[in-house]
Amino acid sequence: MNELEAKIKIDELTDELKEHSYKYYVLSQPTIGDTAFDLLLKELEKLEESYPQFMRNDSPTKKVGGEITREFVTVKHKYPMLSLGNTYSEEELQEFDNRIKKSIGDDTSTSLSKGFEYVCELKFDGLAIGLTYEKGKLIRAVTRGNGVEGDDVTNNVKTIKSIPHQLKEGNYPDEFEIRGEVFMHKKTFEKLNENLKKELEAKGFDEEEIKEKLYKNPRNFASGTLKMQDSREVAKRPLDAYLYFLYSDIPVADNHFDSLKKAASWGFQVSDHYQKCKSIEDVFAFVKKYETERFKLSYEIDGVVIKVNDYHQQQELGFTAKNPRWAISFKYKAQSAETILQKVTYQVGRTGAITPVANLTPVQLAGTTVKRASLYNADEIERLDLHENDYVYVEKGGEIIPKITGVNLQKRQSDSQKIKYATHCPECDTELIRKEGDVVHYCPNETGCPTQLKGKIEHFIGRKAMNIDSLGAETINGLFDRGLIKNYADLYDLKYDNLIGLEFTLGDSDEMKKRSLQQKSVENILKGIEDSKQIPFERVLFALGIRMVGETVAKKLAQHFYSLEKLSIATMEELLNVHEIGEKIAEQLFKYFADVNNKLIIDKLKNAGLQFEMIQDHSIVRTNKLQGKTFLVSGVFTISRDDLKKQIELNGGRNVSSISKSLNYLIAGDKMGPEKLKKATDLNIEIISEEEFKQLIT
């Protein structure tokens, strides 16, 4: 590499790493894994070492990491929040041990010659937090930020049950800081992400958008949560924390191990998985043990942290610009396995979107057997250049669903054919389409593709739609396959005699069970269908499953047009007049109402007695007094916040959830947060009281 090439490469790497840093620390939405990031960083470090003249001032190798988010108050750390050096191999760990030995272990001239010991701990994969306690009371919780200063997230941290707000009587110092890691348990993550997915679906986001918005792993979810502005939202997303380091001007012990024990005795949650190690061999054993044990834990770890135990020795060893010399982390590589790609199959969603799935020869990976991996879309297959019977590498990093990261080209057969993306729907054989600029293929046979039709019926009966919970996916399947229902309107034709004694097969082909409908279930199904006729219009509209018309959009449309009749004849202009309804949604509405089949279905539903109009409450007064104005409601009022928001909407105004330049009014109640007030004042936003708001609408 010549000088020019080196300069270009350093520039490129710097920019790339800065971008990744921003995505990781600020957006909490990284696009590459930790290992890949570290490798890039190491590459840059090496180049900078050889060509220091090209090292940029903003080089990520100079920084501890992180950027600061704007919304929180920034607090300077009393003790800088450093990160640890990373190692990936036993050799590097051995080198670390050699360095320590050289500095203290073999030195017979000082009192530190008695040898040393390590403490091995787990490296929790979450976000670092520093908690300051005064007289046993939690007074501040600050994120790492850039290592020098971070965000004050005390209110959010107070929602974490395992973090004490007040310590019981004890012999702790008057003032100290304890550091640890905030994280989310794997189970909690899966459940919440699943809910979030449903919420996004209900709001009309398409599959691609949902995939982008979902949290990739528990760490991102925890990070996104901790940075939320509304602590009540944070409380709904349970986080947890392990504490692992104590800072105090008056030492409470002369080594780290004893400090951890003390912290635990004061009421802090300290992990049980830590251990004193007398030699580097003991450290290797600890590392080895958790390489497999980690998959049994309820949370994710990405390695092991090794710390010199004795505080004097820690002091002696000191720090480099970025890291303590007395500690290091050993990071586990993302778990990867090699297996054979048997075939690619395709799943069809209710909207016709096609998802390719890699079917693999089962292989053990990170404690589970992997048989399938997501392939996302045709571009991904192209990017990986997948061929039939390829030996592929599957990886389970932070992500829950394994993915294919590459192909072992050495094992590819010379005559092996490239994977050709499906041209026809696997369910109904209709030719697939892919619109320009779209990454997803669709089956356009909306009215004939059985999987789409069944999916639409399942959506129709869903809890947030018609809520017919006595029907499930299996019953729908059985009814559909027998020709008893072809669409959701047919549900309203079902009679007792059609259903009694009907036999269904449950489960997948591995484990089939038969069930037949008995009197009680039939009665429940019919009652559920009958009751659904009272479901209000906005939910009926959502239940129809019009593309991009999720729960929120349906609500807006219903409140604006009052009836399906009016909505179905609305012009583009009228539709665009409804806030947040854009051209894409309008187009889908036109398409839906223009379809003869849909017209027939709607007529049938109308005849069955479903609600196709808003029930008007004449006691409610509506005005346009607040037309075009936006409001943010913050604090406590004489009426509930929801009622206040409703009044805003009834008078034509719009509620927003954050302060920006375009906000018209901030309605300030009691106990409103000082940050909000400051931000609104800075942006010159009109701040009014509840009383003043009432005057606006009377």
Q: Which residues are catalytic?
A: 123
Beta carbon nearer to ligand IVH, 245 or 346: 245
Q: What are phi and psi of 227, to 5 degrees?
A: -95, 10
Q: Which is nearer to ligand IVH, 82 or 581 (CB)?
A: 82
Query: Which are the contacts of 344, defined by CB distance < 8 A and separation ≥ 6?
Result: 356, 357, 358, 359, 375, 381, 386, 419
Rounded to the nearest whole angstrom, what is the least distance from the CB of residue 121 to ligand IVH in the complex? 4
Q: Looking at residue 16, what DSSP letter applies?
A: H
CA-only gyration radius of the chain, Å: 30
How far apart CA 71 and CA 557 sit, in angstroms, is 33
Q: Which is nearer to ligand IVH, 206 or 310 (CB)?
A: 310
Closest to ligand IVH by CB, 193 vs 314, is 314
> Between 84 and 666, whose beta carbon lies closer to ligand IVH?
84
Closest approach of ligand IVH to the CB of residue 306, in Å: 9
Nearer to ligand IVH, 287 or 404 (CB): 287
Amino acid at 220: N
- What residue ranges in 127-260 does DSSP mark as E strands? 127-134, 137-143, 149-151, 175-183, 240-247
CB of 57 to ligand IVH, least distance (A): 23
Least Å distance, CB 271 to ligand IVH, is: 8
**272: Cβ contacts below 8 Å, ≥ 6 apart:** none
How many other CB atoms are there within 10 angstroms of residue 163's CB atom? 22
Say how far apart CA 361 and CA 369 lie, in whole Å.
10
Smallest gap from Cβ 268 to ligand IVH, in A, equals 13
Cβ atoms within 10 Å, residue 81: 24
Helices 3-21 and 34-50, axial angle in degrees (round to 10) = 150
CB closer to ligand IVH out of 75 and 128: 128
Q: How far is the CB of 122 from ligand IVH (least distance, A)?
A: 6
- Cα distances from 188 to residues 25, 176, 192, 692, in angstroms, run 22, 31, 6, 43
| CB closest to ligand IVH, residue no | 128
The residue among 223 and 630 lying less far from ligand IVH, judged by its C-beta, is: 223
Instruction: Give the span between the Cα atoms of 75 and 129, in whole angstroms.
Output: 12
Rounded to a whole number of angstroms, the minimum distance from the CB of residue 124 to ligand IVH is: 4
Q: For residue 610, give every residue at least 6 positions away whose Cβ sits within 8 Å of its Cβ, in sequence order, or none.
A: 532, 533, 535, 540
Alpha carbons 575 and 299: distance in angstroms, whole number: 47
Nearest to 697 by CA among 636, 646, 656: 646
Containing 192, the helix (H) or strand (E) segment is helix 186-202
In whole angstroms, give the CA distance from residue 301 to residue 98. Answer: 26
Q: Distance of CA 7 to CAs 60, 279, 490, Å?
A: 16, 43, 69
Question: Smallest distance from the beta carbon of 334 to ligand IVH, in angstroms?
Answer: 17
Report the residue number, 316 or 690, with the smaller CB distance to ligand IVH: 316
Q: How far is the CB of 127 from ligand IVH (least distance, A)?
A: 7
End-to-end CA distance of the chain: 75
- Binding-site ranges for ligand IVH (CB under 6 A): 82-84, 121-124, 128, 144, 181, 244-245, 305, 324, 327, 329
For tokens 């009834």, name the residue.
650
Quick one: which of 414, 435, 431 has its CA closest to 422?
Answer: 431
